[in-house]
């Protein structure tokens, strides 16, 4: 805890991803704040039964899980080390998000799909990637509602699995935003109950210590994480709602987080970590592309 001269307070949390994902962390912090206020009766009971995600016996691996191999992030051309990453917290208004949705296929396109398709496209341009290079977008998917039956809403754990969308840089950049948005939708739709169970069986036989070592991503890769459904600003420790909730640091270059902002104007934050020589161009075209398409 850090007390500021203005009277504000900063609370920092170090949470291991083995323990829970973003939604689990949010539930923990919200519960912590309720206890701090003495408002224990309103706290929903956490659900800790990890047997819901245990491997089957015998295992039944029915999908290709080659993405889940040790050093999957290692590359001959890593994007950067942590010391070479610059971060930006970029705001998109409700109107800008609406414009991106129209460009990505219409109002029914989710905010995540529309914004991430735009960020993916802009990052390829800002990084100056070769037109014939292959770019991949990594997408963690929450399986709470995809398992059959669904996991309890207060489940404490990390039921998150990774999928990816892949394209040639030229086809991603030259096509409309709808092209990238459709790639994202197809990748996410592949994550089903059976895929999740198959992956659990696959991971049971692997060396998890080696698997979980995090290397640097290639500069042709991007990982987009959605915190849009995470109740970020419900944690009142007795001082009122938070002014800001965010990560303390990025894992490295190529990570993107989408989160709500405390204001009720319908806007969101796009928190991006990129290489220093790419960030200025990225910030410029992120907004210019929207304005040009509107005009």
Catalytic residue IDs: 17, 236
- Strand pairing category for 221-226 and 134-142: parallel
Tokens describing residue 212: 């979980």
User: From residue 3, how far is each of 6, 233, 283 by CA, in Å?
Assistant: 8, 19, 32
As beta bridge partners, residue 165 has 137
Residue with token string 């409309």: 176
User: From residue 113, how far is each of 9, 103, 154, 262, 279 by CA, in Å?
Assistant: 35, 11, 26, 21, 22
CA separation for the pair 239, 227 (Å, rounded): 23
Q: In the sheet where 268-274 sits, what is the strand order?
A: 86-92, 268-274, 255-260, 221-226, 134-142, 160-168
């Amino acid at each position: 805890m850090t007390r500021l001269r203005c009277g504000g307070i900063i609370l920092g949390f170090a949470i291991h991803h083995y323990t829970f994902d973003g939604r689990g962390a949010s539930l923990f912090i919200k519960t912590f704040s309720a206890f701090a206020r003495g408002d224990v009766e309103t706290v929903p009971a956490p659900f800790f039964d990890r047997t819901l995600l245990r491997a089957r016996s015998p295992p039944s691996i029915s999908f290709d899980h080659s993405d889940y191999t040790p050093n999957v992030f290692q590359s001959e051309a890593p994007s950067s080390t942590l010391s070479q990453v610059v971060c930006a917290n970029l705001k998109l208004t409700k109107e800008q998000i609406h414009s991106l949705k129209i460009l990505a296929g219409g109002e029914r396109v989710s905010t995540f799909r529309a914004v991430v398709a735009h960020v993916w496209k802009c990052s390829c341009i800002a990084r100056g990637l070769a037109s014939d290079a292959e770019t991949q977008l990594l997408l963690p998917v929450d399986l709470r509602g995809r398992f059959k039956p669904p996991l309890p809403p207060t489940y404490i754990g990390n039921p998150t699995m990774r999928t990816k969308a892949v394209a040639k840089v030229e086809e991603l950049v030259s096509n409309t935003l709808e092209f990238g948005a459709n790639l994202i939708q197809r990748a996410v739709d592949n994550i089903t109950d059976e895929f999740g169970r198959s992956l659990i069986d696959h991971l049971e036989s692997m060396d998890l210590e080696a698997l979980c070592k995090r290397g640097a991503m290639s500069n042709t890769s991007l990982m987009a994480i959605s915190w849009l459904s995470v109740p970020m600003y419900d944690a009142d420790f007795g001082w009122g709602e938070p002014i800001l909730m965010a990560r303390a640091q990025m894992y490295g270059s190529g990570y993107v987080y989408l989160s709500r902002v405390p204001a009720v104007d319908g806007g969101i934050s796009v928190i991006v970590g990129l290489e220093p020589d790419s960030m200025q161009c990225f910030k410029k075209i992120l907004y210019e592309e929207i304005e040009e398409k509107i005009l």
